[in-house]
Amino acid sequence: MEAQRVSKFLSLVLRHKPDTLGITLNEQGWTDVDILLATLNQRGYRITREQLAYLVETNNKKRFAFSQDERQIRANQGHSVEVDLGYIEKQPPQFLYHGTATRFLELIRAEGLKKMNRHHVHLSADEQTAFTVGSRHGKPIILTIKAGEMAATGYIFYQSENGVWLTDAVPATYIIVENR
């Protein structure tokens, strides 16, 4: 089992295209582990329950979670398919960060951050994580988000199980662009 390859495929299936494997996600994004493993193995992804558990435990982004009885699995956030992950509103810190590529900066300055094809805009509690995320899309830039100010004016924030901060949108007025 090549862990990175399986992790990327699981992200695709559990966040965006469950039909790729012919599985279904329930309203909260869960799917049956036994069915997932059987289907993965039929498609050439040779993975055992123990290997799947190791992948969930050691994924540096904590993308996946098991249900309490470990019979079901889901992605923690980032879905483009309709699911209700049961997030609870949470007060954010004064500042959060968003990593993106410099080529998107002009549009962001004009329109702010939008969730696009996902359920939420993803924000990080630290600059290093934002930098890593931004690096995946080209020359990175870190945007500082005035999250405390946003929350004070009525914007709602959530925090996923893996620590990612989520909100519906970030207007340009709450974004600080610094040249680093």
Question: Taking 80 as the threshold, does the pLDDT of residue 79 lie above it?
Answer: no
Question: Taking 80 as the threshold, does the pLDDT of residue 142 lie above it?
Answer: yes
Continuous segment of H or E residues that includes residue 39: helix 33-42
Residues of the chain with CATH 3.20.170.30: 96-177
Residue that wins the pLDDT comparison between 3 and 121: 121
Phi, psi of 35 (to 5 degrees): -65, -45
Residues of the chain with CATH 1.10.10.970: 3-75
pTM for the full predicted model = 0.65
In terms of average pLDDT, the best of 78-82, 94-98, 132-136 is: 94-98
| pLDDT on residue 8 | 87
Residue 178, Ramachandran bin (φ over 0: left; ψ between -120 and 50: alpha; else beta): beta
| pLDDT on residue 6 | 85
CA distance 112 to 164: 19
Q: What is the mean pLDDT of residues 53-73?
A: 88
Above pLDDT 90, what percent of the chain? 61
Question: Taking 90 as the threshold, does the pLDDT of residue 28 lie above it?
Answer: no
Query: pLDDT band at 180, cuts 50/70/90?
Result: low
The answer to whether residues 163 and 96 touch, using CB atoms and an 8 Å cutoff, is: no
Q: Which CATH number fits domain 96-177: 3.20.170.30, 1.10.150.120, 2.60.40.10, 3.20.20.60?
A: 3.20.170.30
CATH number of this structure's domain 3-75: 1.10.10.970
Residue 66, Ramachandran bin (φ over 0: left; ψ between -120 and 50: alpha; else beta): beta
Query: pLDDT band at 1, cuts 50/70/90?
Result: low
| pLDDT on residue 48 | 92
Question: Taking 70 as the threshold, does the pLDDT of residue 5 lie above it?
Answer: yes
| Cβ within 8 Å of residue 110, ≥6 positions away | 172
Q: What is the mean pLDDT of residues 137-160?
A: 94
